[in-house]
């Protein structure tokens, strides 16, 4: 090979190597995800690391890994999550969102990822509340914009509950209950279980749930590609056992 041919050959080689190394190490797509982290065991702040942990965090990371994208996870107030997805500030939100027709008019939901339902928490030493029929003269505290708020307002409308107080998040609602500023919290059953467990016996739940719901991941209607990836990833991790491992980590008694 003469000198100029050698030169061309090495230039071609350089271009080829750069191209392949680029595509092999190309940064994968990073999607922004937010959640409201006072909703254990779905999303909660780890006081030691300051990071958000929980079922929803593990689930979205497993979906991302399966589909070859990355997620950047942030905390946001619950009533700010859907607006942030709507305005494009966020790519998606996984935050124990109940799939409702009203929400589905403005955003897309992924396929359902877990069964849920709304229930009632009370102070353990309050004997005046034994069943749902005892709520007629009681005040409920709820999280703003939650399906629990809707259930509570419907109960009030039909005369089965006296008043509804709205707080920014579930932690504040539970604090109100413990301090006696409200009689009950109306909120998602699984999360109520976590708060009751962590309350040193101060709060307990009424046995009968108020309804049945399902959670979905919130994605903009402008991003059908992301919806497809999330649904594919969810189906894959259900099929390959990853979902079961995450479920067991948070919901199987130890």
Give the footprint of ligand GLN on this chain (CB under 6 A).
36, 39, 78, 95-98, 143, 146-147, 170, 188
Name the minimum Å distance from CB 29 to ligand GLN: 26
Considering the complex, state which of residue 98 and residue 220 has its C-beta at the smaller distance from ligand GLN.
Answer: 98
Helix (H) or strand (E) holding 232: helix 224-239
Considering the complex, state which of residue 41 and residue 96 has its C-beta at the smaller distance from ligand GLN.
Answer: 96
Name the minimum Å distance from CB 143 to ligand GLN: 5
Considering the complex, state which of residue 80 and residue 236 has its C-beta at the smaller distance from ligand GLN.
Answer: 80
Q: 3-state class of 90 per DSSP?
A: coil
d(CA 206, CA 189): 10
Name the minimum Å distance from CB 20 to ligand GLN: 44
Chain centroid to Cα 58, Å, comes to: 11
Q: Are 208 and 129 in contact (CB under 8 A)?
A: no
Considering the complex, state which of residue 150 and residue 232 has its C-beta at the smaller distance from ligand GLN.
Answer: 150
Q: Are 176 and 122 in contact (CB under 8 A)?
A: no
Q: How many CB atoms lie within 10 A of CB 114?
A: 18
Name the minimum Å distance from CB 228 to ligand GLN: 23
């Amino acid at each position: 090979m003469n000198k100029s041919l050698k030169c061309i050959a090495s230039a071609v080689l350089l271009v080829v190597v750069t191209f392949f190394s680029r595509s092999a190490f190309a940064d994968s797509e990073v999607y922004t995800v937010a959640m409201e982290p006072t909703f254990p065991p779905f999303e909660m702040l780890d006081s030691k690391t300051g990071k958000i942990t929980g079922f929803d965090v593990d689930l979205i990371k497993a979906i991302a890994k399966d589909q070859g994208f990355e997620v950047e996870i942030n905390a946001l107030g619950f009533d700010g999550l859907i607006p942030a997805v709507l305005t494009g500030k966020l790519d998606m939100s996984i935050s124990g969102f109940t799939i409702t027709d009203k929400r589905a008019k403005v955003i897309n939901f992924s396929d359902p990822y877990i069964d849920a339902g709304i229930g009632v928490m009370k102070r353990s030493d309050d004997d005046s509340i034994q069943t749902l029929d005892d709520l007629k003269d009681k005040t409920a505290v709820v999280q703003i914009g939650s399906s629990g708020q809707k259930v509570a307002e419907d109960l009030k409308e039909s005369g089965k509950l006296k008043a509804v107080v709205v707080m920014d998040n579930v932690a504040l609602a539970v604090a109100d209950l413990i301090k006696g500023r409200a009689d009950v919290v109306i909120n998602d059953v699984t999360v109520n279980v976590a708060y009751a467990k962590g309350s040193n016996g101060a709060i307990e739940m009424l046995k009968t749930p108020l309804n049945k719901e399902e959670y979905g991941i919130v994605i903009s209607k402008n991003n059908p590609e992301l919806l497809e990836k999330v649904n594919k990833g969810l189906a894959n991790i259900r099929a390959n056992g990853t979902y079961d491992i995450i479920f067991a980590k948070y919901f199987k008694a130890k």
